[in-house]
Structure 1
Amino acid sequence: MKVLIVGAGRVGTSVAENLVSEQNDITVIDTDARNLQGLQERYDLRGMHGDGTQVAVLEAAGAADTDLFIACAASDAVNMVACRIARQHFNVPRRIARIRAADVAEYPALMGEDGFCIDALISPERSVTTYLHSLIEFPEALQVVEFAEGRISVITARVSSGSAMANRPVEALREAWPDVTACVIDVLRGGRPLQAGIQTVIEPDDEVVLLVDTRHARRAVRQLREAEKTVHRVMIAGGGNIGLRLARQLAEESYSVRLIERDPARCEYLAVNLPGNVLVLQGNGTDEDLLRRENIGDMDTWLALTSDDEDNIMSSLLAKRLGARKVIALINRPAYGELMQGSHIDIAVSPAQATMSELLRHVRRGDVAAVHRLRQGVAEAVEAVAHGDRKTSHVVGRRVGEVRLPKGASIGALARGEDIIIPDGDTIIESGDHVIVFVPSRQQMARVEKLFQVSPSFL
Structure 2
Amino acid sequence: MKVIICGAGQVGWQIARHLSGELNDVTVVDNNPDLVRRATDTLDVQGIAGFASYPDVLDRAGARDADMIIAATYSDEVNMVTCQVAHSVFAINRKIARLRSQSYLDAIYSDLYRRDHLPIDVVISPEREVAAAAMQRLSAPAAFDTETFMGGKAQLLGIKLDDDCPIVNTPLRQLTDLFSTLRVIVVGVRREGTLFAPESSDQLFVGDECYVFTHVDDLARTMEVFGKTQKKQERVVIVGGGNVGLTVAETLERRTNRIRAKVIEKSRKCAERAAEALERTIVLNGDGLDSGLLAEAGIARADAMLAVTDDDKTNMLTAVRAKAEGCPMAIALINDPTLVPLMVPLGIDAYINPRATTVSSILRHIRHGRVREVYSIGDAEAEVIEAVVLSTSPMAGQKLRDIDFPEGVLVGAVMKGEDVVRPTGALKIEEGDVVAIFAMADDVPEVERLMQVSIDFF
Do Structure 1 and Structure 2 share a fold, with TM-score over 0.5?
Answer: yes
Matches for 1:412-427 after TM superposition, within 5 Å = 412-427=412-427
1:58-97 deviation per Cα after TM superposition (whole angstroms, max 9, x unaligned)? 2122111212201123333332232122123212121111
**1:266 and 2:270 matched:** yes
- One-letter amino acid matched to 2:47: G
Counting matched residue pairs gives: 453
> Which of the numbers 383, 388, 395 marks the counterpart of 2:386?
383
Comparing 428-437 and 170-179, the one that deviates more: 170-179
Aligned-pair distance for 1:454? 6.3
Aligned-pair Cα RMSD in Å: 2.6
Secondary structure, aligned partner of 1:410: strand
CA contact (8 A) 1:176 1:223 kept: no
Q: In the alignment, what sits opposite 1:89?
A: 89
Aligned-pair distance for 1:196? 2.5
Matches for 1:34-73 after TM superposition, within 5 Å = 34-40=34-40, 42-73=42-73
**1:331 and 2:334 matched:** yes
Secondary structure, aligned partner of 1:228: coil
CA contact (8 A) 1:140 1:225 kept: no
Aligned-pair distance for 1:21? 4.2
Aligned-pair distance for 1:405? 1.8
- Gaps spanning 5+ residues in structure 2: where? none
- One-letter amino acid matched to 2:153: R
Secondary structure, aligned partner of 1:221: helix
Comparing 238-247 and 222-231, the one that deviates more: 222-231
Query: CA 1:21/1:299 → structure 2, altered by over 3 Å: closer, same or farther?
Result: farther
Aligned-pair distance for 1:252? 3.2
CA contact (8 A) 1:139 1:230 kept: no
CA contact (8 A) 1:378 1:442 kept: yes
Aligned-pair distance for 1:199? 3.0
Aligned-pair distance for 1:13? 4.0
Matches for 1:36-435 after TM superposition, within 5 Å = 36-40=36-40, 42-102=42-102, 103=105, 109-193=111-195, 195-253=197-255, 254-275=258-279, 277-341=280-344, 343-388=346-391, 392-435=392-435
CA contact (8 A) 2:8 2:29 kept: yes
CA contact (8 A) 1:165 1:176 kept: no
Tell me the distance in 1 between the aligned counterparts of 2:138 and 2:276: 25
Comparing 33-42 and 4-13, the one that deviates more: 33-42
- One-letter amino acid matched to 1:77: E
Query: CA 1:443/1:78 → structure 2, altered by over 3 Å: closer, same or farther?
Result: same
1:173-213 deviation per Cα after TM superposition (whole angstroms, max 9, x unaligned)? 23443322222212333343354233333333332221112
CA contact (8 A) 2:413 2:423 kept: yes
1:263-297 deviation per Cα after TM superposition (whole angstroms, max 9, x unaligned)? 2222222222222x322222222223433444422
Tell me the distance in 2 between the aligned counterparts of 1:455 and 1:78: 31
Secondary structure, aligned partner of 2:404: coil
Comparing 63-72 and 446-455, the one that deviates more: 446-455
Secondary structure, aligned partner of 1:222: helix
Comparing 128-137 and 166-175, the one that deviates more: 166-175
CA contact (8 A) 1:22 1:442 kept: no
Tell me the distance in 2 between the aligned counterparts of 1:49 and 1:321: 47
Comparing 48-57 and 115-124, the one that deviates more: 48-57
Tell me the distance in 2 between the aligned counterparts of 1:196 and 1:42: 30
Tell me the distance in 2 between the aligned counterparts of 1:436 and 1:278: 37
Secondary structure, aligned partner of 2:180: coil
Secondary structure, aligned partner of 1:393: coil
Comparing 151-160 and 171-180, the one that deviates more: 171-180
1:106-164 deviation per Cα after TM superposition (whole angstroms, max 9, x unaligned)? 55543332222222121111111111101112222222112221122111222343344
Tell me the distance in 2 between the aligned counterparts of 1:252 and 1:425: 42
Query: CA 1:23/1:323 → structure 2, altered by over 3 Å: closer, same or farther?
Result: farther
Aligned-pair distance for 1:246? 0.7
Query: CA 1:455/1:109 → structure 2, altered by over 3 Å: closer, same or farther?
Result: closer
Query: CA 1:21/1:235 → structure 2, altered by over 3 Å: closer, same or farther?
Result: farther
1:291-329 deviation per Cα after TM superposition (whole angstroms, max 9, x unaligned)? 344442222111111121222222222222222111111
CA contact (8 A) 1:316 1:327 kept: yes
Secondary structure, aligned partner of 2:227: coil
- One-letter amino acid matched to 1:422: R
Aligned-pair distance for 1:385? 1.5
Tell me the distance in 2 between the aligned counterparts of 1:294 and 1:280: 9
CA contact (8 A) 1:394 1:454 kept: no
Comparing 408-417 and 294-303, the one that deviates more: 294-303
Comparing 55-64 and 168-177, the one that deviates more: 168-177
Tell me the distance in 2 between the aligned counterparts of 1:321 and 1:455: 53
CA contact (8 A) 1:370 1:384 kept: yes
Tell me the distance in 2 between the aligned counterparts of 1:57 and 1:226: 53
Aligned-pair distance for 1:235? 1.4
- One-letter amino acid matched to 2:340: G
Query: CA 1:176/1:430 → structure 2, altered by over 3 Å: closer, same or farther?
Result: same
Aligned-pair distance for 1:449? 0.6
Aligned-pair distance for 1:344? 0.6
Query: CA 1:425/1:178 → structure 2, altered by over 3 Å: closer, same or farther?
Result: closer
CA contact (8 A) 2:79 2:97 kept: yes
Query: CA 1:134/1:294 → structure 2, altered by over 3 Å: closer, same or farther?
Result: same
Tell me the distance in 1 between the aligned counterparts of 2:34 and 2:266: 30
Query: CA 1:285/1:23 → structure 2, altered by over 3 Å: closer, same or farther?
Result: farther
Comparing 140-149 and 344-353, the one that deviates more: 140-149
